[in-house]
Amino acid sequence: MLKVQGTACDTTCTSCNKGTCLSCIDGYFPSSKYCYKCTYNGCQTCTDEYYCDTCTGGLWGPTCNNACKIGCKLCNKINGSCTLCIEGYYLFEEICNLCSYSKCRTCSSRNTCDTCDSGYWNTTCGTTCGQGCKGSVCDIVHGTCACTSGYYGSHCNYKCSENCVANTCSAGDGSCECVEGHYGYRCEHTCLATCKDCTDGTQCTVCPVGKYGASCTNNCSCNGGPCNNLTGWCNEQYTCPSQCSSCSNVGLCTACQTGYYGYQCNNSCTSGCNGGCEFNTGMCFACQNGQYGTFCNQQCPAACINHSCFQNGTCYDCAYSNMYGEHCDLQCNDLCVDSQCERWTGACNLQCSNRCQTCDSITGKCSKCMQSYGDYCEYNCSSECGNMECNHTSGECFACNDGHFGPFCNSSCNIACSSTRCDMNSGVCNSCSSPTTYGDFCNLTCSDTCIHSQCNRNGECIQGCIANHYGSTCQFKCSEKCKATASESMCDAQGRCFGGCMQGLSGEDCNTSK
């Protein structure tokens, strides 16, 4: 018998009284004041020198010298029957059996995996998690996961556009703030080559220095200096606030740099805005991941997948397969298989989603949706899509409601368009609501030298010129050398003097000396 020496409580004692050990660490037993080592190495605890009470993992028998069967992590000390299996095995009738699938970490039966090796999912662990899943971990039932930076989608298998600022985008739908020179919901489009920056493919919001106009094709006449993007007025005529991207000739901003709003662009958009905010009100165009609301200052519901939701607070999808509803705050009926149900209605997942018109009988994926899109028609078409109908895969609208344009009909036509109607793709007005405006977007004012200031879409005066003016846009004045007449104007539409020239002059415009 091996006695452990010590004058007081020895290190093998876990409690003692006046130098007498009352209890010992594993592998030792108390006797006559001291802790003595169990004879057999496999003993975890023993009551005397020769009998083991419990064995260390993987062993059994009175002296703990028998190995548990293959696959057992723990087994019954008396008969060696398995009570707990190592990873990759499952317990059935006191025997640990090998899981059928190589990527199963644990399984509850031969053909059903409970957990998978990192990077895999489904009941056979045979499907790879999305390449953007954080830590290569995804939900074993649906494959959904939290995304690393640079990826989006419920399975994080889509890369953010390289044209997104800092290569980051909304984890739910991939929307993002664009780098200069690009536009679109996911910054998938390139601005006109003449633009420095834009919000659509038809006109520029920022021009290179020395250029101006809707397409930045006009040259500034400012001795090489910059001029206003829209009007061409030289910037030296006024001071443009530092956060303006363009401003009027009285120093009021007409457009702000991303992140600001107001006529002086001195108000900051809320930190939750993604891609800036509306010029007049500061309302966000889109929200950062995890935020929602008009000003993106509210947190998405905790049960939303990737903590992401639409701007109205509706979850893109639920983080848990047993939850449903707009905010994923309702629990599926316990009678549903695996407590899983349809995202919107809570109906058990033994049938197509009620938003599907047709679906695959095995996977449940929809091949045709009703006013929705996605594999399971889980996303609503934009409310501004005509009849709320859109492509069931991409969500792009087939047509827009009056007043809207763009792939998702989320851009507003200019209010100067007649009945606020415009081309779905470009936003160009079908016609102008007022005869005093013109241009593709009805944002230019007819010359005040036109009669009643009225002109056609090209800016040409439709009722002629006021007195003593001529030209298609009435941009020229009659010659001051025309002889005065009784008529209201001194020249005709071509600038020819009605009453002849002053003495000593000749020619149609009286600019020739006799």
pLDDT mean over 123-144: 89
pLDDT mean over 145-157: 88
pLDDT mean over 225-254: 73
What pLDDT does residue 274 have? Answer: 83
pLDDT-above-90 percentage for the chain? 17
Cβ proximity of 194 and 216 under 8 Å: yes
Model confidence pLDDT, tens digit, residues 377-391: 878 888 889 988 999
- In this structure, of 267-281, 327-341, 492-506, the range with the lowest mean pLDDT score is 327-341
Mean per-residue pLDDT over the chain, rounded: 84
3-state secondary structure 256-296: ECCCEECCCCCEECCCCECCCECCCCCCECCECCCEECCCC
Q: Extract the runs of DSSP E, i.e. beta strands, from 269-388.
A: 291-292, 298-299, 323-324, 330-331, 356-359, 366-369, 372-373, 379-380
- In this structure, of 216-230, 397-411, 461-475, the range with the lowest mean pLDDT score is 216-230
**How does residue 4 score in pLDDT terms, banded at 50, 70 and 90?**
very low
What pLDDT does residue 269 have? Answer: 92
Q: State the Cα–Cα distance between residues 58 and 260, nearest whole angstrom.
A: 67
Q: State the Cα–Cα distance between residues 244 and 15, nearest whole angstrom.
A: 76
pLDDT at 169 over 50: yes
pLDDT at 238 over 80: no
Both tokens of 33, joined, read 């004041």
Question: 10 Å Cβ neighbour count for 266?
Answer: 14
- In this structure, of 48-52, 70-74, 368-372, 472-476, the range with the lowest mean pLDDT score is 48-52
Beta bridge partners of 227: 234
Extents of the domains making up the chain: 287-347
What pLDDT does residue 236 have? Answer: 58
pLDDT mean over 413-439: 89
Model confidence pLDDT, tens digit, residues 293-339: 989 999 999 888 888 888 888 888 888 888 899 999 998 876 555 67
What pLDDT does residue 93 have? Answer: 82
**How does residue 352 score in pLDDT terms, banded at 50, 70 and 90?**
low
Between residues 504 and 199, the one the model is more confident about = 199
* Residue located via tokens 């696959």: 71
pLDDT at 287 over 90: no
Element (DSSP H or E) covering residue 444: strand 444-445
Both tokens of 198, joined, read 């834009």
What pLDDT does residue 239 have? Answer: 66
pLDDT at 362 over 80: no
